[in-house]
Amino acid sequence: MNITDRFLKYVSFHTTSDENTHTTPSTARQLELGKYLREELIGLGLEEVELDGNGYLMATLPANTDGKPVIGLIAHMDTAPDASGENIRPRIVRNYDGQDIVLNDAKQIVLETAKYPEIKHYTGQDIIVTDGTTLLGADDKAGIAEIVTAVEYLIQHPEIKHGKIRLGFTPDEEIGEGADHFDVKKFGCDFAYTMDGGAIGELEYENFNAAACKLHIHGVNVHPGYGYQKMKNSILIAQELMSLLPAGETPATTRGYEGFFHATGIQGSVEETTISYIIRDHDRQRFEARKKQMQDIVQTINKKYGEDTVTIELRDQYYNMREKVEPVMHIVTLVEESMKEIGITPKVQPIRGGTDGARLSFEGLPCPNIFAGGENFHSRFEYLPVQSMEKACQLIVTMMQKA
C-alpha cells in the first residue's frame, strides 16, 4: 500500500478524543484504529506487536546490524475535538494551481489563499483537503502513515542497515493525556521522535508549558420578573470573568515564544456555567504567573459575588522539553543532517503546542518532534501535501541509516 492510500485508510476511522470521559482511551472508537494498525503491523512482519487495554500500540522492527541505538518513532491516533472528525471526506487536488480551493460548492466553503497564503508554497504538488465540514486528521494520522511506510520500506530493503526500531502509537494526545499510560521502560529506547509537527522541515525540541483549567460558575435562578437583588446570572458572571483576562494574550494575537490564555469551550445557563481554558507559555516562570493570574481572577469574582461563586480545576499537562533534550543534542543534529542530505531545509522552531514527546522527555525518553507535513491542524481547512508526507517517510529511512 502506498503512503497516500495508507493515510486515506487511517482517516476513515473516527478517532476524536474527549476530555470529559475520564477514561483511557477517552473514546472507545480509538481502539478500532488501534486494532486495524495491530493487524497491519503483524502483516508487515513486525515483532512484539501489542495493543494494550488503554489503547497504546507498540511494535518492534529488529536491528539488522550491531552498534546502533534503539530509536523510537511515535505518533498519536486521536484527532482533536476542536472540529468534527467523523465521516471525513478527503479529496486529492492534483497538481495544485496556487489558487483558492473550493472545498464544498454546495455550502460555499472555500480554502482561500488570502487567509492561508502558505498553501501557495505547494503549487504544483498534490494536496489532500477536506470537504470543509470536518478536519482532515493529518494531525497525526500522517505521522502514523509515514512511520508505517518507512518501516515497510526498511523491511523490503534489508541492505539498509539500521538498529532496533520501536513504534509507539498513542491515544488521547489531543487532550493532553497521550503519555498518561505510556510505559517508557517497556518501550526500551535510547531516544525517540514524535512525527507530529506541521509543515515540511519543522524540527522542534522546545514546546509550551501547558495547563488545563476548568471554571465552574454557580448562579442563582429565580423568575426574571422577581429577580431584583435575588438573581445571580452565572452567564453574566462568566462574561465578566473572561473580560478580566488580557485581551491581547490569545492564540489569535500571539506568536513565537508568546504565551496565551485560550477559551476552548463554554456551556451555560443562569444557574450554572462552565468555561474550559488552556494556559500556555514557553517560559516556566511566566507559565506559573499565568496560572496564578487565573486563580487571582477567581478570587476577585468570589469576593464580589460571594464565596464559591466560582470554583476552579487547574492541572498541569506537560512542560517544555528543552531542558531534557539539550543535554543530548546529537539526536537533534541527526535529524538536521538527515534533512539536508535529502534536500529539506531544517526549520528549527519552538512548538506552539505540545506533543507526547514533551512529557516522555521528562520521564527519561528524550523526544524531539519532526514534521508530519500537514497545515491548519484542528481545522476544517486542514490540508496535507502528499509530497511532504513522502519526504517525511524518506527522512525516517535516512535517519535510521545514519544513526
Report which DSSP code applies to 221: -
For residues 280-289, one letter each, b for 16 or more C-beta atoms within 10 angstroms of the residue's C-beta and e for the rest, the string is bbbeeeebee
Residue type (1 letter), 145 = A
Q: Is residue 352 within 8 Å of residue 209, measured between CB atoms?
A: no
Question: Is 356 one of the annotated active-site residues of the chain?
Answer: no
Residue tagged 512484539 (cell numbers): 48
Q: Which entry of 40, 146, 172, 173 is annotated as an active-site residue?
A: 173
Q: List strand residue ranges (DSSP E) for 248-340, in order.
A: 260-268, 272-281, 310-318
Per-residue model confidence (pLDDT) at position 139: 96
Q: Is residue 392 within 8 Å of residue 140, measured between CB atoms?
A: no
247 alpha-carbon distance from chain centroid: 25
CATH number for the domain whose boundaries are 3-207+320-402? 3.40.630.10
Report domain extents, the chain.
3-207+320-402, 209-317
Q: Is residue 118 within 8 Å of residue 96, measured between CB atoms?
A: no
Q: Is residue 25 within 8 Å of residue 54, measured between CB atoms?
A: yes
Per-residue model confidence (pLDDT) at position 356: 84
Q: Which entry of 40, 78, 172, 390 is annotated as an active-site residue?
A: 78
CATH number for the domain whose boundaries are 209-317? 3.30.70.360
**Which backbone phi and psi does 326 adopt, to 5 degrees?**
-55, -35
Report which DSSP code applies to 1: -
The number of C-alpha atoms within 13 Å of 274 and in the hemisphere containing its C-beta is 7
Per-residue model confidence (pLDDT) at position 131: 97
CA-based angle 360:366:72, to the nearest 5? 85
**Which backbone phi and psi does 362 adopt, to 5 degrees?**
-80, -10
Per-residue model confidence (pLDDT) at position 176: 82
CA-CA distance, 344 to 337, in Å (whole number)?
10
Contacts 24+ apart (CB under 8 A), 236-243: 237/273, 237/301, 237/305, 237/309, 237/310, 238/266, 238/268, 238/273, 238/275, 240/301, 241/215, 241/217, 241/275, 241/297, 241/298, 241/301, 241/310, 242/275
Q: Is residue 371 within 8 Å of residue 388, measured between CB atoms?
A: yes
Per-residue model confidence (pLDDT) at position 352: 87
The number of C-alpha atoms within 13 Å of 373 and in the hemisphere containing its C-beta is 32
The number of C-alpha atoms within 13 Å of 221 and in the hemisphere containing its C-beta is 10
Whether omega for the bond prior to residue 140 falls within 30 degrees of 0, making it cis, is yes
Per-residue model confidence (pLDDT) at position 324: 94
Report which DSSP code applies to 91: E
Write down how long the chain is: 403
Residues of the chain with pLDDT under 50: none
Residue tagged 444557574 (cell numbers): 271
Question: Is 86 one of the annotated active-site residues of the chain?
Answer: no
Full strand arrangement of the beta sheet holding 383-385: 91-93, 127-129, 383-385
**Which backbone phi and psi does 316 adopt, to 5 degrees?**
-70, 140
Report which DSSP code applies to 353: S
